[in-house]
Chain A
C-alpha cells in the first residue's frame, strides 16, 4: 500500500528539455541549414568544373608519377632553411610573447592601459595570417629567410601569448601570496611564485607552436620569405608535377617528424 502511495505522490514523467528548449534547438538546426544554403548560392560555384573534378584529379596523379627522386638533392638546402626559419621564429616569439603575456594577464599587468596594450598586441598578431605577415616583411627586409623568421614570430606571438596569459590568470594565488608574505620583490614573486606554475604551459605551447611553424614556413616561399616554398611555387608554375610530388612527400615527412617530436615532448612535461 505504501508503494502505491509513493507512486501517486511522485511524478513518473521526467523530461531533460522543456518544450521551449526543444523548439529553440530546432530553430538552431534550421538556422545552420539556412546559412549553408545561403553561402552556396552566393559563391557562384562553377558546377561544370566540379563535375569532372575526379577526372582532373586522376590526371594530375598520373602526371605526378613517378616522382622525380633526383630532385631531392636540390631540396635538402631549402628544407633545412625552412626548419631554421621555424625554429628561429619560435625563439624570437618566446622573447616577445613572454613579457606580452604578463601584460595581457589581469593578475600580473600594471594597470588597465598596459592590459589593453597587451591584449591589443595579441589580437593584432593573431588576426593577420603568417603569409600576409610574410608579404609585409618581404617589403621591409627584402626577400629571403629574415622576412620569414619575422613573419613566423609575429603570427606566433598572439598564439603563445594568449595561452601563456590564460595560464598566468589561472595560477594558484595562494602561492603568490605566500611568496609576497616573505617580503619578496615584484620581480622575485614573478620568478619564484608565478613562473614555476606556468613553465609547463610555456614548454608545451613552445614545442606545439614550433611544430605548427614548420608547416607554416613551408608556404612562406610563395611570397618570397624563404624556405622550400620557393621551389614548390616555381615547380607548380612550370608544371613540373613529378618535382611537385617529391616536394610534397618530403614536406609530409618533415611535418610528421616534427609532430612526433612535439607530441613526445609535450607528453613528458609535468
Chain B
C-alpha cells in the first residue's frame, strides 16, 4: 500500500512544484495522473523513489517511510519500485539483455556485474519477459538499434525485472505515435494487473488515461484537484485541471470511445489524434 501524506516540494529555484499532496493507493490499481505541463506530475513520481528529495510530508510504502531511509536502505527500497521513463533511458550501447538484467543490479554484487554474471533464474525471467512484451529474439540487439516502441518495451521489462511492489511510470507514451502509444499503455496496464502491482502513470493524453486507468488523479499547480474514476471526468473537471477550453468535442469523443471500448472495437485509435490535440 502506498500512502502519500502532505507531500510538498520546493525546488532550490523557489518553484513550488507540489503543495501538500495526499492520496493513498490501497489496491493494485492503475492510477493515471493527468494535469497540464508544469503541474508537478514528474516531481510527484520522482519524490516517491527520491530521485527528487521531497521538502516536506511523508511517502510510505507498506508502512515504511521512504524519506527517513539512509542511502543503503534507500537502495533496498528502490529495488521495490520499478520506474519507466518517457525517454526510455536505456543504456544505448548495451544489449537488450544487459538492459533487462540491469533491473537486477540491486540484488547482485559488483564483481558479478563486472563479469555480467547474473543468476540463472534472472536470465530465465528476462527471456520470459522478452517473450511477454513481444521482443523474443532481441536479447543481443543493441538498444540504440531499436525503435521507440521497442525501446519502451525494454524499459518496461527492465522495471518489471525488479519484481517491484510499485510501478512509477512517467509519460510512457509521449514520444510515440498514437497506435504504439495504445499498445504500450495496454502492455503496462495488463502487466500491472497480471502481477497485481499498483502503478502510478503520468500521462498527457486524457483519452488514453480514461480508457486504461482504474482511477484518475488530476494535478494542477502542485495540488490535487480531482480524484475519481474515468466516468467522473467531465468538462467541468477538465476545466478545473487544465483551465477554460471548449471540451465538448473531447468529452463526446471519449463517450463514444468508452462505448467502443466495451465492444473491443479495433479502430479505436483513429479518432485519437483529434482528442490528443484537444487534450494536449
Is chain B found bound to chain A in the same assembly? yes
Which residues of A are in contact with B by a Cβ distance under 8 Å? Answer: 172, 174-175, 177-185, 187-188, 191-193, 196-197, 199-200
A180, B91: Cβ atoms closer than 8 Å: no
A178 touches B83 (CB 8 A): yes
**A179 close to B91 (CB less than 8 A):** yes
* CA gap between A180 and B92 in the complex, in Å: 16
Sample (15) of A-B pairs whose CB atoms are under 8 Å apart:
A177-B51, A178-B85, A178-B158, A181-B78, A182-B79, A182-B82, A182-B83, A182-B105, A183-B106, A185-B75, A191-B113, A191-B114, A192-B98, A197-B91, A199-B93
Question: Are the CB atoms of A179 and B85 closer together than 8 Å?
Answer: no
Q: A174 to B92, alpha carbons, bound, how many Å? A: 11
What residues of A have a CB within 8 angstroms of the CB of B106 in the complex? 182-184
**Interface core residue of B89, B90, B94, B168 (most chain A CB under 10 Å):** B89
Given A180-B51, A183-B78, A191-B113: A196 and B102 interface contact (C-beta under 8 Å): no
B106-161: which have CB < 8 Å to A? 106, 110, 113-114, 155, 158
* B89:A188 contact, CB within 8 angstroms: no
Is the beta-carbon distance between B110 and A179 smaller than 8 angstroms? no
In the assembled complex, the Cα of A191 lies from the Cα of B108 at a distance in Å of 13
Residues of B within 8 A of A182 (CB): 78-79, 82-83, 102-106, 158, 162
> CB within 8 A of B79: which of A179, A183, A187, A193?
A183
Q: Tell me the B residues contacting A by CB distance below 8 Å.
A: 49, 51, 75-79, 81-83, 85, 87, 89-94, 98, 102-106, 110, 113-114, 155, 158, 162, 168
**Which of B87, B110, B155 contacts A188 (CB under 8 A)?**
B110
Within 8 Å CB of B81, what residues of A? 181
> B94 contacts which chain A residues (CB < 8 A)?
192, 196
Residue on A nearest B107 in the bound complex, by CB: A183
Give Cα A180 to B77, complex, Å.
Answer: 12
Instruction: From known contacts A183-B105, A184-B105, infer whether A175 and B89 are also in contact, taking CB-CB under 8 Å.
Output: yes
Report the minimal beta-carbon distance from A199 to chain B, rounded to whole angstroms. Answer: 7
Determine which residue in B49, B102, B103, B114 has the highest number of CB atoms from chain A within 10 A of its CB, and name it.
B102
A32 to B76, CA, bound (A): 62
Closest 6 interchain pairs by CB? A183-B106, A184-B105, A183-B79, A178-B89, A183-B78, A174-B89
Overall SS of chain A's interface = helix
Question: Measured between alpha carbons, how far is A181 from B84 in the docked complex, in Å?
Answer: 10
CA of A177 to CA of B52 in the docked complex: distance in angstroms? 11
Q: Please give 6 more A-B residue pairs, beta carbons under 8 A apart, in addition to A181-B83, A182-B162, A196-B94.
A: A175-B92, A178-B83, A182-B78, A183-B105, A184-B105, A200-B93
Given A188-B113, A191-B113, is A197 in contact with B93 using a C-beta cutoff of 8 Å? yes
Contacting pair A174 B93 (CB below 8 A): no
> With A182-B102, A182-B105, A192-B105 given, is the CB distance from A177 to B89 under 8 Å?
yes
Q: How far is the CA of A175 from the CA of B90 in the complex (A)?
A: 6
The answer to whether A185 and B110 touch (CB under 8 A), given A177-B89, A180-B51, is yes
* CB-defined contacts of B83 to chain A, threshold 8 Å: 178, 181-182
CA distance A187 to B90 in the complex (A): 18
Question: Contacts of A197 on B, CB cut-off 8 Å?
Answer: 91-93
Which residue of chain B is the closest to A196 with respect to CB atoms? B93
> In the assembled complex, which residues on chain B have CB atoms less than 8 Å from the CB atom of A187?
110
Whole-angstrom CA separation of A187 from B109 in the bound complex: 10
- Tell me the nearest residue of chain A to B106, going by C-beta: A183
Q: Which residues of A contact B98 (CB under 8 A)?
A: 192
Taking the closest CB of chain A, its distance from the CB of B151, in whole angstroms, is 12
Note all chain A residues with C-beta closer than 8 A to B113. Answer: 188, 191-192
Expressed in whole angstroms, the minimum distance between the Cβ of A265 and any Cβ of chain B is 17
